[in-house]
Amino acid sequence: MKVEFRLDWMYMWSALYQMNPWLITSNKISLKAQLQSLPGAGFGMSAAHYLFLQRNMEKDAVTFDSAIEYYRGMDNNYQLLLFPEGTDKSPWTTTKSQEYAKKHGLKQLKHLLYPRVAGFHHLLTKMREGLSQDIHYLASFSRFSKP
């Protein structure tokens, strides 16, 4: 976990505890697939049914679909925490973001990257199937660096 996200976790756990302490145990987190192979911790995260993502939409769609079906079958409330890990601003990622903007007719960004949203959209679509309650989501940014 990157240092700048440590406070995000603490705020999230505090908020969940204030709403209902059970929610802390039903929180599911998305992580890079490489973390699943960590000795000990990888097993624990797998046992907690966290989502391990490849950053490949075809593979991740299968992961999302099976996870949502599993969580839904538990008949308990659950939360999914999505961390935008692994995308630091660099010349290479800036070029990729600008190519994406050009391809989709979007404004060129100098100090930000366009997010990858296909997985998020797929996840929300899957979660809304058969759902009668509202879906709440929060975007949090821990730190901005100067250009």
- Assigned domain for 78 exists: yes
Per-residue pLDDT, 58? 93
Distance of alpha carbon 29 from alpha carbon 50, whole angstroms:
5
- Assigned domain for 44 exists: yes
- Assigned domain for 93 exists: no
Contacts of 98 (CB under 8 A, 6+ apart): 108, 109
- Please identify every stretch of the chain with a pLDDT value under 50, giving residue numbers as ranges: 1-3, 141-142, 144-147
Q: Say if residue 26 is exposed, middle or buried (CB neighbours under 10 Å; 0-12, 13-18, 19+).
A: middle
- Assigned domain for 146 exists: no
Strand pairing category for 51-53 and 27-32: parallel
- Assigned domain for 11 exists: yes
Contacts of 35 (CB under 8 A, 6+ apart): 41, 42, 45, 52
Per-residue pLDDT, 81? 80
The CA R_g of the chain, rounded to the nearest whole Å, is 17
- Rounded to two decimals, what is the model's pTM? 0.70
Q: Supply φ then ψ for residue 32, to 5 degrees.
A: -65, 140
- Assigned domain for 46 exists: yes
What CA–CA distances, in Å, run from 130 to 4, 113, 123, 125, 133? 36, 34, 14, 10, 9
pLDDT tens per residue across span 75-86: 777 778 876 655
- Please, are residues 46 and 36 in contact by the beta-carbon 8 Å criterion? yes
- Assigned domain for 107 exists: no
Per-residue pLDDT, 37? 93
- Assigned domain for 64 exists: yes
Distance of alpha carbon 78 from alpha carbon 68, whole angstroms:
10
Q: Could you tell me how many residues make up the chain?
A: 147
Task: Print the domain residue range for 71.
Answer: 3-85+116-128
